[in-house]
Amino acid sequence: MTLNACPTQLASGISMAQDSRGGAILREYKGHLIALTAGQQQDGRWMCRYLILDSGVTGSCDASFATHDEAEAAALQLAKYRIDSRQ
């Protein structure tokens, strides 16, 4: 799997990839800031990773998606699940 991505540095000092559409998307959930970074594979499908900024927890979907938005939504749901399972 190859993502069209280049490294970037977040304000927290944690490095992650910046997608070809302009960078990480930040979302807040229950007081936690989540960075979502999507990248398009060579076959045109999308993958997305997440980073929960306050804990440094990262993850990604095991699947690829037809659209950027679908990939982001799936990664956000996984990040929310990780946050909820810690409480």
Look up the domain containing 28 and give its range: 5-86
Mean pLDDT of successive 10-residue segments in the chain (87 residues)? 35 42 84 95 95 95 93 96 90
Rounded to 5 degrees, what are φ and ψ at 29? -145, 120
Distance in angstroms (rounded) separating the CA atoms of residues 86 and 2? 31
Number of domains within the chain:
1
> At 76, is the secondary structure helix, strand, or coil?
helix
What pLDDT is stored for residue 78 in this prediction? 96
What pLDDT is stored for residue 22 in this prediction? 56
Residues ≥6 apart with Cβ < 8 Å to 1: 41, 47, 64
Rounded to 5 degrees, what are φ and ψ at 68? -60, -45
What pLDDT is stored for residue 87 in this prediction? 67
What pLDDT is stored for residue 14 in this prediction? 39
